[in-house]
Amino acid sequence: MDIAVLQADALAVAADVLVLKHAQGLYGVDALVVQRLDSHAAGVFPKVPLPPPGSASLVDSRGLLGAAALLFIGVERLGDFGYAEIRAFARRTLEDLADRLPDTSSVAMTVHGVGFGLDETEAFRAQLAGLLEALQRGRFPPALRRIAIVEHNPGRAQRLQRELAVTFPGGAIDVPRLQGRADQTLPTAALRTAGAPSRDKPHVFVAMPFAKEFDDRFHYGIEAAIRSAGYLCERADMASFTGDVIAWVKQRIDSARLLVADLSGANANVYLEIGYAWGRGVPTVLLAGDQKELLFDVRGQRCLVYDSIRSLETQLTRELQQLGTAAP
């Protein structure tokens, strides 16, 4: 069975079924799909039925999307949709299709969890692990030959493609061999521990602006140093989400070994997260691209000032080593 990460628009990707979640609210691709279908209903078609947790809705795309059909799976609210839930969601995707559309030969789905703060690699591994569980158990459409995980962001698509190539060289899953494993375990330790165990893995929470110009600093400077120290690296877009996700942010800061904060741009949400971490006694490491950007609140605090992404990674790696916070 072929499996691939595609850098593409999920609304345009050709597939028998595009799988989406309904997290008791609409976000990202889910919202775009519903908006397109409902805006073209014009009283001829009913609005897209959005399922509660534990239920699913199979919808004809009416020729408005690349996929012929849509499978909406109802899940927990976004703030409760963690690594374990991603794994269960992916497994249920194939199980539901085995019952509803056994002739399905190609499935497309998006990446979950990375838009509101979960560790990108760990969330992706949890999704892969869920798919493999369904394949192991023989709970998938018999005609299924291709699974495409679609990501619009080029940088993220490339990172996930590299991760997938490590797990499945050649982009193919040997399903008979997977089902024949006597111990019923997944192919790698990284996949076996992605999901429910992920929540208890040591993690560092990163407070920084969730803007495109900060992407390289995060992925190649901050995240690289944190993951090399043995941690999951989590970061939330505080500007885009409220309610349950704010509660999730507080919980993840509470349980973090460390909070790393980039003060560049004097972002108000970053200062809010730093203040919360200080109030909860969570150790912090402060970063800035320019000393002049520091507000009076933190000018008396030690801050690592960097002038390049390489400098950022080097300084943060050294700081983690000196703090003795590296995960065992």
- What integer best gives the mean pLDDT of the chain? 88
Look up residue 252 and give its two tokens.
Answer: 């993840």
What is the pLDDT, as a whole number, of residue 202? 94
pLDDT digits (tens, 9 = 90+) for 85-95: 999 999 999 99
CA nearest 203: which of 327, 313, 79? 327
The residue type found at 283 is: P
What is the pLDDT, as a whole number, of residue 328? 44
pTM for the complete prediction?
0.90
Element (H, E) at 17: strand 15-22
Quick check: helix, strand or coil at residue 53?
Answer: coil
Q: State the Rg of the chain over Cα.
A: 21
Give every residue of the chain whose pLDDT is below 70, as ranges: 41-45, 180-185, 238-244, 293-300, 324-328
Q: What pairing do the DSSP bridges indicate for beta strands 15-22 and 106-110?
A: parallel
Which CATH number is 202-323 given? 3.40.50.450
CATH 3.40.220.10 applies to domain 2-196: yes
Q: How far apart are the first and last CA of the chain?
A: 36
Task: Show contacts of 176-182: CB within 8 Å, 24+ apart.
Answer: 178/132, 178/135, 178/136, 179/135, 179/136, 179/138, 181/136
Q: CATH 3.40.50.450 region(s) of the chain? A: 202-323
DSSP 288: E
pLDDT digits (tens, 9 = 90+) for 89-123: 999 999 999 999 999 999 999 999 887 789 999 99
Q: CATH 3.40.220.10 region(s) of the chain? A: 2-196
